Chains A and B, each alone.
Chain A
Amino acid sequence: MRGTTGIEFLGSDRFRTDATPINGSRTMPAQIHEARRQIEHRIWDPDAETLPRDGIEALQLERLRELVTRVARVPFYRDHFAHREIGPHSIRSLADVRRLPLTTKDDLRRQHPFGFLAVPRKALARIHGSSGTTGRPTFVAYTARDLETWSNLCARFLVAGGLRPEHTAQVAFGYGLFTGGFGLHYGIERVGAAIIPAAAGNTRRQIEIMRDLDPEVLICTPSYALTIADSARELGIDPRSLPIRFGHFGGEPWTEDMRREIEDQLDIAAFNNYGLSEVIGPGVSGECPERTGMHIQEDHFLVECLDPESLEPVPEGEPGELVISTLTREAMPLIRYRTRDIARLYREPCACGRRTTRMSRITGRTDDMLIIRGVNVFPSQIEEALLRVEGTTPHYLIEVSRPGTLDEVHVKVEIRPEIFSDRMDRMQALCERISREINTVAGIRAHVDLVEPRSIERFVGKAKRVLDRRNLGE
């Protein structure tokens, strides 16, 4: 790989890591054995990515103090700090991060749209939105330097997972407020590879583009990768004959089983990456060819793993809620943002040479949020939809499954005398109306299953309203 300039973006002294680009200097055998899927170890930003533990922690401490200074411009944090006399002096070790307040999605919503801005509005370079569908999106703002950081973070995991300047990558993520499309787009551009911004949807066309342009790399959600494979078969094309050699998948939770499916069906190597729009988008962490967890970009994010009840750190390797402080974000820096995502952290060194903490796949949520085909859905939204249709709410159950490659939602509603009619047209209209209300409120298409009375299990206390059969655990 020729010398690229992956770290020049750190133009400011404050964020400077003093790394020199030596991309490609580390090459080790990967653990993917099929020749076509062989990915060599490469590191985009070696000085930052292979810092020893003490170096990482010293840098995090320094940046955490800077973050505390920077967020004092945000009223939410300023008030909190003033009350408790918190300032950069309060942070003497990384463990002191626990003296700082937690930030939740609700806090962000209460400050809608820009109460969390730490820079003047005119300093913004871009605005994205979370995929949340609860009425209005949560906006996320970036300065020009935030965008630089973001591109570089995406470049890091893309290079770790095989992307090279000579490659062509097809991006089948949505381009829009969603951070996936643009985040990956500029990461690929940063690496110097060619981009086909195919965007999400029109699967047949995606396949035609692949056959015409021979991209080696596919970027999309894991379920969309399987949809592409299905669609190819329908067209009489062997999905394994497509030119894709590897893919970077994210935007929704998936499993090792799904990885095997994707790899077998498309004959590719499939890499996982993680991020969330509130902190930056994709780029918080990603896999190297060892694929023993996603390397957290710890020079930019301080990640804690807490027991969601006690908010105490869990022992290493135990599942807990990821809580992220954005060490270098300028426009909308966050302290201890509760992601609600459950994962495990591993701190032992990785064979790839990076010394960063790795995180497991996301194995659950601490709230009841469901991610359905990439759309965030809360059961409360389904309930809100049902409330609009009289007589449907006392007993219902949301069942999520993934019968083929795509998520399916069935909302089971127990029939009651006030909604039952002897006329089939009325009953079908009822199902359609419920389905329409769910689509309006939650933004998803759900199958409405009317069921017999007392067929939904009764609970003492809090009813269980969601049955997720997708088996997204490890």
Chain B
Amino acid sequence: MKLQQLSLFLENRPGRLGAPLEAIAKEGINILTLSLADTAQFGILRLIVREWDKAKQVLEDAGWVVNLTEVVAVDVLDRPGGLAEALAVLEGAGLNIEYMYAFSLRRGDKAILIFRFEDPDRAIAVLLEKGLHVVDGDELLSVVSG
């Protein structure tokens, strides 16, 4: 049920974001979604890609420090309040979110939320119990590529 997310350390200066993205593009690896957290001095690029192990190898070979993290994807209805309802469930269960990001699908009426939990297994159990739909890797790939 968990997804593998790649994180990269980048210095916060012009041109630093493009280089790793080009490196994986060159290998024909498609990015499903990404998020960037930054300070004035550095950034953390988080990527969800189709072939995470290959992408990790490519990036590491090119000299980046890459970290692998398990995240949880949940789909919600792409309408006002969709995210808020999901968050209310998590909050009610006392689940702490380290960070999250979201994207909506090109087709259909769903949005995908990506969560980084301290304890992803417990989070998945709670989400399922509360009737939310946890999207696994294969499913995400199929919905994204349509």
Contacts and interface: CB of A to CB of B under 8 A. Distances in A.
Interface of A: 415-417, 420-424, 427-428, 449-455
B57 interface: no
A339 to B, nearest CB: 37
Contacts of A422: 5, 7, 44, 46, 67, 69, 116
B16 to A, nearest CB: 8
Nearest to A419: B65
Query: Nearest 7 CB-CB pairs, A to B?
Result: A422-B7, A415-B9, A424-B37, A422-B69, A420-B65, A415-B65, A450-B42
Contact of B67 (A420, A452, A453, A455): A420
Contacts of B46: 422
A423 B69 CA distance: 10
B11 interface: yes
Contacts of A415: 9, 65
A434 B69 CA distance: 25
A80 to B, nearest CB: 52
**Size range of the chain B interface in the assembly:** 20 to 34
B98 A423 contact: yes
B102 interface: no
Contacts of B7: 420-422
Nearest to B66: A417
A422 B116 CA distance: 10
Contact of A421 (B39, B66, B67): B67
B142 interface: no
Among A416, A451, A452, the one with the most B-chain Cβ atoms within 10 Å of its Cβ is: A452
A417 B11 CA distance: 15
Contacts, number: 50
- Give chain A's interface secondary structure class: loop
Contacts of B63: 452-454
B10 interface: yes
Interface string B87-116: 000000000001100000000000000001
A420 B39 contact: no
Contacts of B10: 452
A434 to B, nearest CB: 13
A417 B41 CA distance: 18
Given A427-B42, A452-B9, A452-B11, 5 more contacts: A415-B9, A415-B65, A417-B67, A422-B5, A422-B44
Contacts of A420: 7, 9, 65, 67
A416 B65 contact: yes
B52 interface: no
A86 to B, nearest CB: 57
Contacts of A423: 44, 98-99, 116
A452 B8 CA distance: 10
A454 B9 CA distance: 12
24 contacts: A415-B9, A417-B67, A420-B7, A420-B65, A421-B67, A422-B5, A422-B44, A422-B46, A422-B69, A422-B116, A423-B44, A424-B37, A424-B39, A424-B44, A424-B99, A427-B42, A428-B39, A449-B42, A450-B41, A452-B63, A452-B64, A452-B65, A453-B63, A454-B63
A453 B39 contact: no
Interface string B19-42: 000000000000000000101011
A423 B42 CA distance: 12
Nearest to A452: B11
Contacts of B5: 422
Contacts of A449: 41-42
A464 to B, nearest CB: 20
A233 to B, nearest CB: 26
